[in-house]
Structure 1
Amino acid sequence: MSQKPDYQPGAFQWSFLLPQYWGIWIGIVFLMILAILPWAIQHRLAALIGNTAFKYLKSRRKTAVRNLEVCFPEWTAEQVQQNARQVFVDQMIGIFETLNAWYSPQWFKNRFSVEGLEHLEKAQTEGRGVLLLGTHSTLLDAGGYLCDQFFKLGVVYRPQNNPLLDMLIYRCRATIYEHQVDHDDMRGLIRQLKHGQAIWYSPDQDFGLKQGVMAPFFGVPAATVTAHRRLMKISKAAAVPLYFYRDGDIRNPQYHVLLEPALDHFPSEDEVADAIRVNQIIERQLRIAPTQYMWFHRRFKTRPNGYEKIY
Structure 2
Amino acid sequence: MSKKTNYQPGTFQWSFLLPQYWGIWMGIIFLMILAILPWAIQHRLATFLGQIAFNKLKSRRHTTLRNLEVCFPEWTAEQLQEHAKQVFVDQMLGIFETLNAWYCPQWFKDRVSIEGLEHLHHAQADGKGVLLLGTHSTLLDAGGYLCSQYFELGVVYRPQNNPLLDMLIYRCRATIYDHQIDHDDMRGLIRNLKKGHAIWYSPDQDYGLKQGIMAPFFDVPAATVTAHRRLLKMSKSVAVPLYFYRDGDIKDPRYHVLLEPMVASIPSDNELEDATLVNKIIENQLRIAPTQYMWFHRRFKTRPEGYEEIY
TM-score of the alignment, normalized to the shorter chain, above 0.5: yes
Following the alignment from structure 1 to structure 2, what is the Cα–Cα distance between the partners of residues 237 and 94?
31
Q: Report the equivalent of 1:206.
A: 206
Q: Report the equivalent of 1:20.
A: 20
The structure 1 segments of at least 4 consecutive aligned residues displaced by more than 4 Å after TM superposition are 2-5
**Counterpart contact for 1:129–1:197, Cα < 8 Å:** yes
Supply the AA of the counterpart residue of 2:68: L
Following the alignment from structure 1 to structure 2, what is the Cα–Cα distance between the partners of residues 73 and 266?
30
Task: Give the count of matched residue pairs.
Answer: 310
The C-alpha deviation readout for 1:169-225, integer Å capped at 9, x for no partner, is 000000000000000000000000000000000000000000000000001000000
**Counterpart contact for 1:124–1:196, Cα < 8 Å:** yes
1:52 aligns with 2:83: no
Following the alignment from structure 2 to structure 1, what is the Cα–Cα distance between the partners of residues 154 and 89?
28
Following the alignment from structure 2 to structure 1, what is the Cα–Cα distance between the partners of residues 173 and 270?
36
Supply the AA of the counterpart residue of 2:198: A
Q: Report the equivalent of 1:279.
A: 279
* Gapped regions of structure 1 (runs ≥ 5): none
Q: Report the equivalent of 1:217.
A: 217
The C-alpha deviation readout for 1:25-47, integer Å capped at 9, x for no partner, is 00000000000000000010000
Deviation at 1:3, TM superposition (A): 6.7
Q: Report the equivalent of 1:183.
A: 183
Q: Report the equivalent of 1:258.
A: 258
Supply the AA of the counterpart residue of 1:137: S
Deviates more, 1:119-128 or 1:25-34: 119-128
Aligned residue for 2:128, secondary structure, equals coil
* Gapped regions of structure 2 (runs ≥ 5): none
Q: Report the equivalent of 1:119.
A: 119
Deviation at 1:265, TM superposition (A): 2.1
Following the alignment from structure 2 to structure 1, what is the Cα–Cα distance between the partners of residues 98 and 265?
35
1:84 aligns with 2:92: no
**Counterpart contact for 1:3–1:160, Cα < 8 Å:** no
Q: Report the equivalent of 1:145.
A: 145
The C-alpha deviation readout for 1:207-250, integer Å capped at 9, x for no partner, is 00000000000010000000000000011111000000001001
Q: Report the equivalent of 1:33.
A: 33
Aligned residue for 1:156, secondary structure, equals strand
The C-alpha deviation readout for 1:98-155, integer Å capped at 9, x for no partner, is 0000000000000010000001011111110000000000000000000000000000
Pairing 1:90-109 to 2, within 5 Å after superposition: 90-109=90-109
Superposition RMSD on alpha carbons, in Å?
Answer: 1.0
